Amino acid sequence: MEHAPLIDPFARPIDYLRVSVTDRCDFRCTYCMAEHMQFLPKKELLTLEELDRLCSAFISLGVKKLRITGGEPLVRRDIMTFFRSIARHLDSGALRELTLTTNGSQLARFADELADLGMKRINVSLDTLVPEKFAEITRWGRLDQVLKGLEAAKRAGLKVKINTVALKGFNEDELFPLIDWCAAEGHDLTFIEVMPMGEMGEELRLDQYWPLSDVRKAMAERFTLTELDESTGGPARYVRLEETGQKIGFITPLTHNFCESCNRVRVTCTGELFMCLGQEDNADLRAPLRAGTDDAPLIEAIRAAIARKPKGHDFDYSRQKVAGQMSRHMSHTGG
């Protein structure tokens, strides 16, 4: 069923939806989760059927790109049932792209099936290529498992973009090894500034903060950087390294707000719709989903929420207190 498309108060069409399917993860990355996380009770989470209904409603409202996030989406039980079902919108042409952000730990199991159902590319979070450092930052992760997953994704024909959080004193010395490795593997690479999400301790955040302007400066000493004006529908700004032809992205929520072209909203695993990652305002979509089988109240709730989408957010590290700090963990909202 076709509906009038979603347009926010600033005339931005909303055609990109990010949905977290779980708050659980098999890693405990230090900047994302506490080591002993209190996970949500199962009844609070949207069921796979509810997730399908919710995504399908957004697709009927003009969403063309759907990104599944978590936690770690591939640790949710029977998640492939959801992927197989939602892929019908790719087949019909209603959805242009179905994609996934993952830590890569389960890719060896699922890469072939994801490619078979029409997924073309995935984002894999990877902050270091040193096994000991990987174990330290993920607390529970094993680098070899992720590298095997990446090999499986490549074999399956999935285009991989590596997302690396820039962490001062942790992976500063890996800037060029990461670039070289991605060039050799044929992966795109995007650097992300660490964000003030969750009660991870302000000291840690400010100590870890490595502005991407510094990352870029270091890159420019070795490579010729050409600014690209392309966008993949997300917040990244891209440059091309002329010497290697690589495309490198920068996501800078702190030093450069990218709000003016924001075309996306997020839904948490409990059905809260966040119109902006950096604002607390949200709308409950779980209640209309559970009220009955009629989608009209759900669509009404989505429209009412988009009508409140703000112009932008405010994360700022320049004041020693982290302004605009969010109390919810990144794993709950979806990365």
DSSP per residue over 103-149, as a string? -STTHHHHHHHHHHTT--EEEEE---S-HHHHHHHHSS--HHHHHHH
- Enclosing domain of residue 127: 16-333
Q: Residue 101 falls within a domain, yes or no?
A: yes
State residue 35's pLDDT score. 85
Is 29 among the annotated ligand-binding positions? yes
Q: Residue 193 falls within a domain, yes or no?
A: yes
Q: Residue 6 falls within a domain, yes or no?
A: no
CATH number of domain containing 108: 3.20.20.70
Is 18 among the annotated ligand-binding positions? yes
Is 195 among the annotated ligand-binding positions? yes
Tell me the mean pLDDT in the region 126-133: 98
Q: Residue 264 falls within a domain, yes or no?
A: yes
Is 22 among the annotated ligand-binding positions? no
Is 155 among the annotated ligand-binding positions? no
Q: Residue 34 falls within a domain, yes or no?
A: yes
Q: Does pLDDT of 166 surpass 90?
A: yes
Tell me the mean pLDDT in the region 272-286: 89
pTM over 0.75: yes
Provide the 3-class DSSP secondary structure of residue 284.
strand
Tell me the mean pLDDT in the region 281-294: 96
**Spacing of C-alpha 301 from chain mean position:** 24
Q: Residue 168 falls within a domain, yes or no?
A: yes
Nearest to 64 by CA among 101, 14, 116: 14
Cα–Cα distance, 156 to 231 (Å, whole number): 25
Tell me the mean pLDDT in the region 195-205: 51
**Spacing of C-alpha 67 from chain mean position:** 7
Percentage of residues in the chain with pLDDT exceeding 70?
A: 86
State residue 324's pLDDT score. 45
State residue 326's pLDDT score. 46
State residue 332's pLDDT score. 53
Q: Does pLDDT of 202 surpass 70?
A: no
Exposed/middle/buried for residue 198 (C-beta within 10 Å: 0-12, 13-18, 19+): buried
Is 121 among the annotated ligand-binding positions? no
Provide the 3-class DSSP secondary structure of residue 274.
strand
What's the DSSP call for residue 25?
Answer: -
| pLDDT tens-digit map of 289-330 | 999 999 999 999 999 999 999 888 654 434 334 444 444 455
Is 101 among the annotated ligand-binding positions? yes
Could you identify the residue written with the tokens 């001062």?
A: 168
Q: Residue 37 falls within a domain, yes or no?
A: yes
Q: Residue 211 falls within a domain, yes or no?
A: yes
Q: For the chain, how long is the longest CA-to-CA vector?
A: 59
Indicate the number of domains in the chain. Answer: 1
Is 266 among the annotated ligand-binding positions? yes
